[in-house]
Structure 1
Amino acid sequence: MRYRWATFTAVFGAILCLGSAPAAAAPDAAAISVSGTPVRVAIAADGTAYLGNYGQGGGVFVVPPGATSPSRTIGTGGHVTTGLALGPDGTLYVATADGDQSAVGVVPAGDADMARTIPVSAGFHPLAVGPDGTVYVANSTGNTVSIIAPQATAVDRTIEVGAGPAEIAVAKDGTAFVTNQVAGTVSVIPAGADVVSKTIELVSETGTSQEPHGIAAGPDGTVYVANIKSNDIAVIKPGAGTVAERIYVEGGPQDVATAPDGSLYVTSLLTEKLSVIRPQAKEVAGSIPTDGGPGHLAVAPDGSVIVISPATSPGGGAVVRYSKDALAAAPLASGASTAAAPAATPAPEAASQPAAGAQPSAGSWNALPAVAGGVAAAVVGVAVWILVNGRRRRAWLADRAGQAG
């Protein structure tokens, strides 16, 4: 059955409806106590963590290194936070939304308030920042990426990408990679470019999207893509136009982060796990239960990892810091398969041009309707549409739940 999305609305509906039961806490894991509904996390070079609040009043919680609660909150004018990114100089960029008003706020390093805001199109906007301070803004409703030049006060240019831009990662050379969840592709935007240079295909044997979502660039320029539907991490080598290999990760992997040593950390919503993949490995080394269905994550300079598990009510989610030692000792889950999935069919390097009338973006942080399996996922998926956009895909969700059951 062909799935269709009204995507940018699914982004936060999915996030807000992650009401699964908490899993057992892992050893060497410390809970970070916050109010509101944290959905995004970014960690500065000094270890300070920033947590974006999608709950009432918005704002960004600032958590000092090693602390278990915020020391202060950066105000966002009452607007909810939908995206976070840190620049190379420590500047914090905050995407906010309030009805048909959206903007990217700029918070200089160490400041307590936004110095200025840059208007962007309405919607929810994942962000990424390049090594020169260029800001990339995913516009999930328009199938585009807007680019804000360093120190600019307005959008510099907007580039068409595939349908459903979900997340962005920028490599050390300034190349931006965009996951297009509906199209099932990754768009490549070289530093300073005005158009996509090539499109990397991520499709199943039946030609449908594998729903690429989370994306990260490793220290050597290798790009890693979390595919929700195909349960794997696609590995794209520097300069390549096709997927080199795939690493199987169960449970609908949806976000991925890289550590300085090349380790990969992957969150899976349905299995409620944080998986660890060692440098150059082709399979999961081990996994740690998370406190509820995990969403975004970020790696700290000390090697620890902060994982957000949002929920439907203020304070109902969880933010947990997993220590480097806990990650190093992560056991392989009993009965878990570690077999690598087959490599993808080489993809043509064609410019990504969304077709006329393409569906709105499926870029969501926790795109539950895309995950096959689990009655809980089906229930949450229904809540997504009710909460955010009222566009319910009940038949589709029931079909997926039936397959899982």
Structure 2
Amino acid sequence: MKYRLATFTAVFGVILGLAAAPVVAAPDEAIYVVGTPVRVAIAADGTAYLGNYDQGGGVFVVPAGATGAARTISTGGHPTTGLALGPDGTLYVATADDAGHNIVGVVPAGGTTTERTIPVSAGLHPLAAGPDGTVYVANPAGNTVSVIAPNGTAVDRTIKVGAGPAEVAVTKDGTAYVTSQTAGTVSVVPAGAAAVSKTIELLSDTGTSEEPHGIAAGPDGTVYVANIKSGDIAVIEPDADTVSERIFVEGGPQDVAIAEDGSLYVTSLLTQKLSVIRPHATEVAGSMTTDGGPGHLAVAPDGSVIVLSPGSGATGGSVSRFSAAALAAASQGSTAATPAASSAAPAAAPAGEAAAQPSSGSWNSLPAVAGGVAALVVGGAAWILVNGRRRKAWLAAGASQAGSGL
């Protein structure tokens, strides 16, 4: 009940935010989809994979620079709840259905269909892949992370973490960092380990969770955590036991991505902005208005950033591409009001689209910003609650507090 109340509170905040948001679109930078985009992964060649949480599920495959999907990878009609790309281009797709049948599908690089499936526990599952192909599956309902070995056909081991695991990031040495939004912790799992080696607390002075949600690992092993409630990015140095510094980001930052040069990009649902933080900087350099309530994001090889807004489209969500040039301009101090994408495809939109996902236990069950920042439900989760109660029974089983990422 606690999580359900928090989620509804967050949804109302999202509704208010969307109502006040300016309608901004740059059609030449829009990726048109029809559905609920909530997860995104970008391959080394720039191909973007967009997970669809809407009815019919699937993963839209968008070639580099394209404004629509070239094809769709089927998920058997089930919504996508997690997405990750392995180092060899293998795509891992988590799906779930109302009956509690949950799997991670394995799609070979360039493949058009699932080659094999791996059963996982019931619930919504954010995914992350390590440099050796190890896959980490967050289980919000069980407060655990399952590990699938490279080329594995079943879960190899399951590791206990803090309450409400939301997202996972893996460093280049294979160490996995897991944010637990309810507990207010980051769990550290060394490569090959069967248990957490240490836990880093992200708690307020009163002992409540700062709502750590999105997480990203930099090229040098530094880890960045988006804290919804405390409104900052926590910086964790390699092998550190505590947070070394904080970078303030307004609007309840919920997801973060990092480029190879160390630039940070942060989405904030309440302010509906994409913030830019320069490498090694301690403050936001500039921001850009997003199209609706932004959720997950990813950095492409050409330096552009794709941002998902699961509930902002007329018939679903929207996907925006922010060019490297626009991001550079924003980082010089100018606040751009031209996001790179628009809402669901109009009649003339490119064919062959798809959508994405939300989550129910972290991102996938996006912990709602309890108390002060009550609106940080991931765009996907909020969209589902507002526009589609058809899956409410399943979401309730996912146990979580707020959303964004699916």
Q: TM-score range by the shorter chain?
A: 0.7 to 0.9
Going from structure 1 to structure 2, the CA distance change for 1:363 and 1:304 (only over 3 Å counts) comes to: closer
* 1:20 alignment partner, SS class: helix
The 1-side partners of 2:74 and 2:136 are apart by 22
Q: Which amino acid aligns with 2:2?
A: R
Structure 2 contact 181–367 (Cα < 8 Å) conserved = no
Partner of 2:172: 172
Q: Does 1:196 align with 2:196?
A: yes
TM-score (norm: length of structure 2): 0.82
Partner of 2:31: 32
Q: Deviations over 1:294-345 (max 9, x none)?
A: 00000000000000001187733210000000000016478xxxxxxxxxxx
Going from structure 1 to structure 2, the CA distance change for 1:39 and 1:306 (only over 3 Å counts) comes to: same
Q: Which amino acid aligns with 2:74?
A: G
TM-score (norm: length of structure 1): 0.82
Q: Which amino acid aligns with 1:197?
A: S
The 2-side partners of 1:232 and 1:159 are apart by 28
Structure 2 contact 270–375 (Cα < 8 Å) conserved = no
The 2-side partners of 1:194 and 1:94 are apart by 23
Going from structure 1 to structure 2, the CA distance change for 1:77 and 1:141 (only over 3 Å counts) comes to: same
* 2:145 alignment partner, SS class: strand
Residues 111-260 of structure 1 correspond to what in structure 2 (within 5 A)?
A: 111-260=111-260
The 2-side partners of 1:211 and 1:80 are apart by 26
Q: Which amino acid aligns with 2:37?
A: P
User: Offset of 1:38 from its aligned partner?
Assistant: 1.1
Structure 1 contact 295–366 (Cα < 8 Å) conserved = no
Going from structure 1 to structure 2, the CA distance change for 1:287 and 1:260 (only over 3 Å counts) comes to: same
Going from structure 1 to structure 2, the CA distance change for 1:259 and 1:114 (only over 3 Å counts) comes to: same
User: Offset of 1:372 from its aligned partner?
Assistant: 3.2
Partner of 1:340: none
Q: Which amino acid aligns with 1:36?
A: G
Partner of 2:84: 85
User: Offset of 1:373 from its aligned partner?
Assistant: 4.8
Partner of 1:285: 285
User: Offset of 1:175 from its aligned partner?
Assistant: 0.0
| Structure 1: runs of 5 or more not aligned | 335-359, 398-405
* 1:284 alignment partner, SS class: coil
Going from structure 1 to structure 2, the CA distance change for 1:274 and 1:117 (only over 3 Å counts) comes to: same
Q: Which amino acid aligns with 1:4?
A: K
Q: Which amino acid aligns with 2:325?
A: D
The 1-side partners of 2:286 and 2:187 are apart by 31
Q: Deviations over 1:29-82 (max 9, x none)?
A: 711001111110000000000000000110000000000000000000111000
Q: Which amino acid aligns with 1:120?
A: V
The 2-side partners of 1:372 and 1:55 are apart by 30
* 1:5 alignment partner, SS class: helix
> Which structure ranks higher in relative contact order (CA pairs < 8 Å, sequence separation ≥ 6)?
2
Structure 1 contact 291–320 (Cα < 8 Å) conserved = yes
Structure 1 contact 14–366 (Cα < 8 Å) conserved = no
* 1:372 alignment partner, SS class: helix
Going from structure 1 to structure 2, the CA distance change for 1:267 and 1:365 (only over 3 Å counts) comes to: farther
